[in-house]
Amino acid sequence: MATVARPLDIGKKAKKLEDVGQLPQWKLMVRRFRKSKLSVAALFVLLFIYVITALSDFLAPYPHDVIDTDNVFAAPSRIVSGPNGLGIYGIKQVLNQELFKWEYQTDTSVIHPLKFFVQGFEYRFLGLIPMNVHLFGIERAPGSDPTAPEPRIFLWGADREGRDVFSRVMKGSQISMSLGFIGVLISVVIGTLVGTSSGYFGGRLDNLIQRLVELVQSFPDLPLFLALAAALPPNVPVIQRFLLITVIIGLIGWTGLSRQVRGKVLAFRSADYTSAAKAAGASNWHIITKHMVPNVMSHVIVVAMLAIPAAIGTETALSFLGLGILPPAVSWGLMLRDASSVQAAITYPWLLIPVGVLLIVVLAFNLLGDGVRDAVDPYA
């Protein structure tokens, strides 16, 4: 008895613990990231939302900008089970005798059936393949009053011009989910390049860049955003405006990152491996791309992850103030303009649905960024 060491941990668990020291860096990062359940959940939420964004035209039953005066502020449709499967009730025009006004009432005698994979408006699937099939749509119930307005389904209600909120959220995702992302991408590329060259080459270039950074940082963020956005010509095509707003977001955000990258590069520049590479005759380009950039990359990724939700917020704010995305395009921020009047938001609460969607996306990006930071740099 006395000679036997303590009982050993055998089996899977011990085996798994054994090789931690031998794992490559990225595997440890993945393992640490997976420890944070919330961040993993956030990652899946975002992937799900991006899939929906990719399929948004297919999922949306109607074009986002079709005005329908018959359905102003229509409440979300109730899906009921009818004789021919699922469907929605019809509506009928009733004269309000007191106000002498036509009003619409639910007509429970008619159920318009819900159909899947129906034909609808034309779009390009994934931006490439022309298609007109949509996931769902409503067909006029056979035998119903043909003079009644065309039945439409409003999963999330309609806005003050009778536009389908669900279709608009779908369409808006294309801008809202990409604009912040691309804007951050631009600022990350600029910030990394400028910061690396500033730190690596030093001297007059560094001095010049630092003065420039100082100047850009002398502008407060939001007022500068607003001034630049207001300076954009109002009647350019949708795509062009989208790109211009993206560039504005990208052009302002790089300064902070470039300073951080510069600081890191300054430290790496005097590191032994850089001297070794120089002694071995490596070119500046080689040292920058092989030694500097990979070393700052983890920091850059973390900063970028946490900058995306901020950029999404900026787009929302600009569009909300009427200085960002303009109609006929649609983004979630633009949709919130409709909800900005408290009275409207209280009477037609479905107008606040974009708030919820936006909140989920921004929260998910924040949680993801936090998890990535902890995984990449557990000591920070």
Partner 1 sequence: MSPAAPADGAPANDIFTTDDDVIRVRDLHLNFYTTIGTVRALNGVTFNIPRGKVLGVVGESGCGKSQTGLAIMQLTPSVGKYEGGTIEFRESPNTETPVNILSLGKNSDQMRAIRGNNISMIFQEPMTSLNPVFTVGSQIEEAILLHQTKDKAEARQRAVSILEKVGMPNPERIADSYPHQLSGGMRQRAMIAMALSCTPVLLIADEPTTALDVTTEAQILDLMRGLQAEYGTSIMFITHNMGVVAQMCDEVAVMYLGRVIERASIDDIFYNPKHPYTIMLLRSIPRLGAERADKLESIHGSVPDPYSRVTGCPFHLRCPAAMAGICDVTMPAETMIGERHSVRCHLYL
Partner 2 sequence: MINYIVRRLVNMVVLLLLVSFIGFWIIQLPPGSILDVKIAQLRQQGGNLQQSQIEALRARYGVDDPFYLQYLKWISRTLQGDFGTSFDTDQKVADRIWNRLGISLALSLVALFITYTISIPIGVYSATHRYTVPDYIITFFQFLGLSIPGFLLALLLLIGATQLWNQPIGGLFSPEYVDAPWSMAKLIDFFKHTWIIVVVLTVVSTAGLTRVMRGNLLDVLNQQYVQTARSKGLKENTVIWKHAVRNSIHPLVMGIGAILPFLISGDALISTILSLPTIGPMYVDALRSQDIYLAGTLLVMFSALLLIGNLIADLVLAWVDPRVRLE
**Residues lying near partner 2 in the complex (CB under 8 A):** 214-215, 218-224, 226-228, 230-234, 309, 313, 316-317, 320-323, 336, 339-340, 342, 345-346, 352, 355, 358-359, 362-363, 366-367, 370, 379-380
Q: In 3D, which of 177, 170, 160 has the Cα closest to residue 351? A: 160
CA angle 338, 357, 253 (to 5 degrees): 90
Let me know: does 180 contact 300? Beta carbons within 8 Å.
no
Q: Is 9 in the site for partner 1 (CB under 8 A)?
A: yes
62, 136 contact by CB (below 8 A): no
Nearer to partner 1 by C-beta: 18 or 139?
Answer: 18
Residue 90 or 333 with smaller CB distance to partner 2: 333
- Count other C-beta atoms under 10 Å from residue 344's C-beta: 16
286: CB partners within 8 A, 6+ apart: 277
Asked if 14 touches partner 1 (CB under 8 A), the answer is: yes
> Binding partner of residue 150 among partner 2, partner 1, none, CB under 5 to 8 Å per kind?
none
Site for partner 1 in 84-123 (CB under 8 A): none
Size of the site for partner 1 (CB under 8 A): 19
Q: Does 12 bind partner 1 (CB under 8 A)?
A: no
Structure tokens at 196: 């690396």
Query: Smallest gap, in angstroms, from Cβ of residue 35 to partner 1?
Result: 5
Dihedral of CA 62/63/64/68: which sign? Answer: negative
CA distances from 29 to 24, 142, 378 (A): 9, 59, 9
Q: Which is nearer to partner 1, 20 or 47 (CB)?
A: 20
Could you say which of 6, 37, 78, 101 contacts partner 1 (CB under 8 A)?
Answer: 6
Q: Which helix (H) or strand (E) holds 302?
A: helix 293-320
Q: Which stretch binds partner 1 (CB under 8 A): 7-15, 122-130, 300-308, 352-360?
A: 7-15
Decide whether 87 or 371 has the Cβ nearer to partner 1: 371
Q: How far is the CB of 317 from partner 2 (least distance, A)?
A: 5
Q: Is 128 in the site for partner 1 (CB under 8 A)?
A: no
CB of 341 to partner 2, least distance (A): 9
Q: Which does 363 bind (CB under 5 to 8 A by kind): partner 2, partner 1, none?
A: partner 2
* Cβ proximity to partner 1, 18 vs 103, nearer residue: 18
Q: Residues 22-61: x/- map of binding to partner 1 (CB under 8 A)?
A: x-----x--xx--x--------------------------
Shortest CB 296 distance to partner 2, Å? 20
What's the 3-state SS for 40-95?
HHHHHHHHHHHHHHHCHHHHCCCCCCCCCHHHCCCCCCCEEEECCEEEEEEEEEEE
From residue 128, alpha-carbon distances to 56, 65, 79, 123 in Å are: 14, 21, 33, 9
Give the Å distances, CA to CA, from 253 to 221, 226, 247, 361.
9, 14, 10, 20
For residue 240, give every residue at least 6 positions away whose Cβ sits within 8 Å of its Cβ, in sequence order, or none: none
Query: Could you say which of partner 1, partner 2, none residue 3 binds, taking C-beta under 5 to 8 angstroms by partner kind?
Result: partner 1
* Segment near partner 1 (CB under 8 A); pick from 13-21, 87-95, 136-144, 354-362: 13-21
Residue 14 contact, options partner 2, partner 1, none, Cβ 5-8 Å cut-off depending on partner type: partner 1
Q: Choose the contact partner of 247 out of partner 1, partner 2, none; CB within 5 to 8 A by kind.
A: none
Angle at 171 between CA 337 and CA 229, to 5 degrees: 50
Q: Which residues contact 256 (CB under 8 A, 6 or more apart)?
A: 191, 217, 303
Q: Considering the complex, what minimum distance in angstroms separates the CB of residue 230 from partner 2?
A: 4
3-class DSSP assignment, residue 263: helix
The footprint of partner 1 (CB under 8 A) covers: 1-6, 8-9, 14, 17-22, 28, 31-32, 35
